[in-house]
Structure 1
Amino acid sequence: MPITRRAALASALLPTALPVATAEPVDLALALAVDVSASVDFAEFGLMMGGYAAAFRDAELIARATSGPRGAVAVAVLLWAGPGEHDLAVTWSRVGGAEEAEAVAAAIDATPRILPPGATALGEALMASAALLARCPFPAARRVIDVSGDGPANAGVPARAGRAAAEALGITVNALAVVHEEPELEAYYAEEVITGPGAFVLRAETYEDFAEAIRRKLLREIGAALVA
């Protein structure tokens, strides 16, 4: 399909923020897909990115990420908004200890909001994230898209089309719903977005709750990979 090819091409041309390390096997490849559409203001963007950075400085998360048989996870961060609007904030990076986790956290902290605030092309964001995972240089026992946002798709291909692209590659999709403006978003993500073994949705009532919610979500995702 032209839309699928466009999403794959767009993600292939994204800039990088960290150099790719030696392609050693990991327990989990995790694509963090972050909504930066018009519904997310600059303060909320700061709370999201601060929450992700804090999570990778969390001692419990680092211990869990390094406790699997391969001793590491791989992480990339994709910002997304409207159709064709993607920005790879952090390229594939191996987290096998505190120093590598800090490098990822620092890169997230330094991420500017480059994309213009556009529509919410969630389906295309899932396609771009699936394409990003397909190109992960680290052989992974499990692959997951971790999508976070505060609204349903309102542009581009339907969310279900993006979910189908992930399903076709054996990728799990989990979601974090920020529900302060969309009380039904958690149910929407459960119905239209998540897929795969053990897939789940967590909710944050507001962006002030985001940091703790994403920490819990990442702990759960990493933990699931270790027992898969």
Structure 2
Amino acid sequence: MPVRVFALLAALLPALAGLAVAPARAETRVDVELVLAVDISYSMDEDEQRLQRAGYVEAITSPEVLEAIRRGPNQRIAVAYVEWAGAGEQRLTVDWTLIDGKATAEAFVAKLMAQPIRRAYRTSISGALGFSAPLFDRNGYDGLRQVIDVSGDGPNNQGLPVEEVRREVLDRGIVINGLPILIKRPNFGTMDITDLDTYYSECVVGGEGSFMVPIKTREAFSAATRMKLLMEIAGDFPAPGPSPPPGAPRVILAAEKLNPLCMVGEKLWMERQDWMRN
């Protein structure tokens, strides 16, 4: 080997050794890493889409949520916003953002509001979960909890069975919470079901302390979304008390046993296809 090559290697070795032992960049400690996975399927009209987004905007910047963040041990959270529909339709609309006060909360919602309202075909909750879970890997944050928050207005009807993917997500230590939207009355030939809250409880949410907050009226969007975020940030549940008034957001703990009927969405889709052919 020429002398010049030896000289070059000798000059590079200290630098290469430094690279080999350089410490990895420390992750930022937060109280919760939270993925907001939001349904944009065509079953939700544009007005409902705007209500849904406005609910998150108002909740994230609300004094109650900002105070909950301030009271956490790390006084900050990390949030990512995902929009999803069918099995191949998921999008990271707003990437991971540190929220530690009013300014950063407003910066997050500004990014969100700058995005156009989108709609797409079919409903794949399993696809949303499968897309969201890897987002926690090497995201630069180290949370006391990792949570996927799924909001939607219908059951899984495309992609892998939702129970199968849910099990994989829970095995990673990620909690799944839900915000089922039950505003529309189910009609024949549609993919709506009357007991979507039960479906979410038994087939979607899971993990330690998991819960869901059903939305049954348009007016409840803001209050329900705020309640859900408060619980996810605080990692706590409201104290026992009197039953809420009709129409008020409710908190339902996740069912412990799996429901064998969690394929209802896929069944409805097949029935709908048969009905359209005949």
TM-score (norm 1): 0.85
Rounded Cα–Cα distance in structure 2 between residues aligned with 1:112 and 1:65: 28
Q: Could you say what secondary structure the match of 1:153 adopts?
A: coil
Structure 2 counterparts to residues 133-212 of structure 1, below 5 A: 133-181=136-184, 182-212=193-223
Q: Deviations over 1:47-88 (max 9, x none)?
A: 111110111110110111122111100000000000110111
What's the counterpart of residue 52 of structure 1? 56
Q: Could you say what secondary structure the match of 2:75 adopts?
A: coil
Query: CA RMSD of the aligned region, Å?
Result: 1.7
The answer (yes or no) to whether the contact 2:50–2:117 under 8 Å persists in 1 is: no
Structure 1, unmatched stretches of 5+, are 1-21
- 2:44 equivalent to 1:40: yes
Q: Deviations over 1:90-123 (max 9, x none)?
A: 1000011111011112122222134x42100111
Rounded Cα–Cα distance in structure 1 between residues aligned with 2:137 and 2:195: 31
The answer (yes or no) to whether the contact 1:29–1:136 under 8 Å persists in 2 is: no
Question: How many residue pairs end up in the alignment?
Answer: 204
Q: Deviations over 1:133-188 (max 9, x none)?
A: 23422111100001001100011111112211211210000001111233200000
What's the counterpart of residue 23 of structure 2? none
Rounded Cα–Cα distance in structure 2 between residues aligned with 1:71 and 1:225: 16
- 2:82 equivalent to 1:71: no
Structure 2, unmatched stretches of 5+, are 1-25, 185-192, 238-278
**Letter paired with 1:191:** E
Rounded Cα–Cα distance in structure 2 between residues aligned with 1:62 and 1:180: 28
The answer (yes or no) to whether the contact 1:122–1:162 under 8 Å persists in 2 is: no
What's the counterpart of residue 18 of structure 1? none
Tell me which moved more, 41-50 or 207-216.
Answer: 207-216
| Structure having the higher Rg | 2
**Letter paired with 1:144:** V
- Higher relative contact order by CA 8 Å / sep ≥ 6: 1 or 2? 1
- 2:232 equivalent to 1:216: no
